[in-house]
Structure 1
Amino acid sequence: MVTTRRGAETWAEAAPSTRASAASTRPRSSPYVPTPLEQIGLAIFPATLIFGTIFSVLSPQTRSAPYDHVTQSHAQDPTMAPSYFARKSNLFNVLFVKQGWGWMSLAFILFVLLHPSLSTQVRRLQACVRWVLVTACWFFVTQWFFGPPIIDRGFRWTGGRCELAEMEVEMGDTSVGEKVTAVACKAAGGKWKGGHDISGHVFLLVLSTAFLMEEVGWAVLRWANWREDERTVVMADGATKSANVEAGVAAGAGRAQSWFGLSGKITGVVVGLNLWMLLMTAIYFHTWFEKLTGLLTATVGFYVVYIVPRFIPAVRGVVGMPGI
């Protein structure tokens, strides 16, 4: 036991050149795909959705509860709902998920302002650019995309209709059917029926969680000297090199006492709640295909913001990379 402890201390105190030499023996990851560490983190999302879907099939309470495919949920009557979390009125859904992008943004802003790994103006500015890009992705998919958001457009492209709009078209108003959105339909008392409805909850929870994991994870790992950065980038001359070549500031040797900080802990709480509500969504809401397309849509957004810059130097020069 003593030998093991001393061995660990010796490795922790080893010269940077020794650690770099050991790390150089690892196979280099491709700049075109997430690193092995990122793949482990991203695997949490499909694993959660698969577990939740299986649980919903095996749980007697969930199986026996009436399910409405129009509202993508079980009966909302408290006496019939299989769980408190199956009701859309539960406080976690109303106060957290419905305001999820705001909570994610608050955690990110606090991390940018308070964590020492983002002490330079350039790092803070590039981090904010990445937040703007991810927020634009969320906005286009769920709120507005030169008219109806992408989710609503996809719903209509696959044959979806607003039941109220159909009734008004029959009465002579031919413009309603083309202009209505899910929000307008429901506000007017109609039902969004037919078509394929991408799970907005899954999209939001996956994208916001992946964003925080990427922004906080790499910054903390580099600051605390926990792990050699395994990311690679394509340089302007076409060569593939370690992301360390673009690290303007060395990792935070000797600063592990502040590696996470208050802002990191707040981020951890937001990520934990996101994953919990993702599990609840997987169990009680949407079909498996709606959840799958929500996951895939979020993955595309993640890839564009965090992987594409690694192999396009011009883009990387604007958006940077977390922790570098």
Structure 2
Amino acid sequence: MDRVDRWARSVRSCLVQSSVRRTMPWGLLGLTLGGSLLKEWTPLPESYLSNKRNLLNVYFVKLAWAWTLWLLLPFIGITNYYATRNALMVLRRLTALMVGTVVWYMCTRMFLHIEDLTGSCYKSPSFDVLHREHASKLQCQQAGGFWHGFDISGHSFLLSYCALMIVEEMAVMHNLNTSKNSRLHMVVNCLFLALSCLTLIWLFMFLTTAIYFHDFSQKLFGTSVGLLAWYGTYRVWYLTPFSPGLPPQYVSLSFQMPKRYL
């Protein structure tokens, strides 16, 4: 228990800082740009991470929203209730997860629709002979063809959105003290550390996507949608009365460029 407590205090001193929430959006844009430039100018050799069947991609990234949802659900419920002692307030805050689910679903459906609208079906991976009778990616693949369209990076969107959402919700830990209840303290610390590890995985796989997959425009579009989804909720809508609201004891931040960039 002492070791978990020490780890939680160490991570809290890093991830819960307001500077992290302020600079992470710029960091994500920087990773997209840097990884894409590396991919175009000096491509890295094929590796385990460039294989879409790698364990992190199959068991974490493919289920990114499920991991984020099921860890944030108890974390928000427990920490927000401990901070407010208000069950209605907790229920209101939990609706942020419902909002996130709607955002995830609508954006992924939009990406698929754009790929259908901008693509064509081909008979081979060289994209030289058209299958004109197939008008959607699903029909094309079912017929054994190869669809080529504007494939927006769903990984860039979802991983950026999940990482930002987790960091925003962990802001409740800034002034939360559960040390008087040892069992609760242990549960909160374990959830906090699990979310912190998940955030690091999302950031690492976000960089991997930037280095190995998609075109720059596809990754930039996906990342931009993730940032807009975060900004539209936590920086605009959640500041209004008719919304899930922000975590208790939250320090509001404006989305401004850090001074070193000016």
Change (3 A) 1:168 1:309: closer
1:41 aligns with 2:4: no
- Considering only aligned residues, what root-mean-square deviation do their CA atoms show, in Å? 2.8
- Offset at 1:60? 5.5
Q: Kindly report which structure 2 residues correspond to 1:193-272, keeping only aligned pairs within 5 A, or say none.
A: 193-194=148-149, 196-216=150-170, 218-223=171-176, 258=185, 261-272=189-200
Equivalents in 1 of 2:213, 2:35: separation in Å? 10
Query: 1:151 matched to which residue of 2?
Result: 111
Residue 109 of structure 1, CA deviation: 1.6
1:277 aligns with 2:205: yes
Cα distance in 2 for residues equivalent to 1:222 and 1:87: 42
What SS does the aligned partner of 1:98 have? helix
Cα distance change on mapping 1:307 and 1:184 into 2, 3 Å: farther
Over the matched positions of the two proteins, sequence identity in percent amounts to 24
CA contact (8 A) 1:114 1:263 kept: no
Which whole-Å deviations, capped at 9, do the CAs of 1:161-204 have from their partners, x for residues lacking one? Answer: 2337x6362xxxxxx52xx3x4554354332213x221111111
What residue is the counterpart of 1:100 in the other structure? 64
Secondary structure at 1:162's aligned position in 2?
A: strand
Task: Give the match for residue 104 of structure 2.
Answer: 138
C-alpha deviations, 1:41-87, integer Å up to 9, x for none? Answer: 2222112222322333454644xxxxxxxxxxxxxxxxxxx111101
Deviation at 1:129, TM superposition (A): 1.1
CA distance in 2, matches of 1:123, 1:310: 13
Closer, same or farther in 2 for the Cα pair 1:95/1:310, shift >3 Å? closer
Specify the alignment match of 2:144 in structure 1: 189
For 2:74 and 2:142, how far apart are their aligned partners in 1? 35
Cα deviation for residue 98 of structure 1 reads 0.7
For residues 184 and 203 of structure 1, do their structure 2 counterparts lie closer, same or farther at Cα, with a shift above 3 Å needed?
Answer: farther
Specify which structure has the bigger relative contact order, considering alpha-carbon pairs within 8 angstroms and separated by 6 or more residues. 2
Indicate conservation of the 8 Å contact 1:117/1:220, yes or no: no
In 1, the alpha carbon distance for the partners of 2:147 and 2:211 equals: 22
Q: What letter corresponds to residue 131 of structure 1 in structure 2?
A: L
Asked if the contact 1:206–1:298 (Cα under 8 Å) also holds between the matched residues in 2, the reply is yes
Contact 1:222 1:323 in 2 (8 A): no
Match of 1:288 in 2: 216
Secondary structure at the counterpart of residue 299 of structure 1? helix
Residue equivalent to 1:121: 87
1:94 counterpart letter in structure 2: V
Note the C-alpha offset of 1:37: 5.4
Q: Would the aligned equivalents of 1:206 and 1:295 in 2 still touch at CA under 8 Å?
A: yes
Letter in 2 for 1:49: T
Residue 284 (structure 1) shift: 0.3
Query: What is the Cα deviation at residue 89 of structure 1?
Result: 1.0
Relative distance call for 1:120 and 1:44 in structure 2 (3 A) is farther
Q: Which residue number corresponds to residue 163 of structure 1?
A: 122
Residue segments in structure 1 that go unaligned for 5+ positions in a row: 1-34, 63-81, 143-148, 170-175, 225-251
Q: Deviations over 1:137-171 (max 9, x none)?
A: 110111xxxxxx201222244x322337x6362xx
1:28: which partner in 2?
Answer: none
Say which SS state the counterpart of residue 318 (structure 1) adopts: coil
**CA radius of gyration, larger in:** 1
Please say if residues 120 and 132 of structure 2, whose CA atoms lie closer than 8 Å, have aligned partners that are also in contact. no
Which has a greater percent of helix?
2
- Paired positions, count: 221
Of 225, 238, 244, which aligns to 1:319? 244
Match of 1:110 in 2: 74
Q: 1:161 to 1:123 in 2, by over 3 A?
A: farther
**Structure 1 CA distance for aligned equivalents of residues 84 and 141 of structure 2:** 43
Amino acid at match of 1:40: T
Alpha-carbon distance, 1:258 to partner: 4.3
* Alpha-carbon contact 1:207-1:301 (below 8 Å) kept: yes
Match of 2:8 in 1: none
| Partner SS for 2:222 | helix
Contact 2:121 2:140 in 1 (8 A): yes
Deviations 1:289-315 (A, max 9, x none): 11100011111211222122255x3xx
Specify every segment of 5 or more residues in structure 2 that has no aligned partner in the other structure, as ranges. Answer: 1-17, 124-129, 250-262
**Could you tell me how far apart the structure 2 residues matched to 1:130 and 1:295 are?**
20
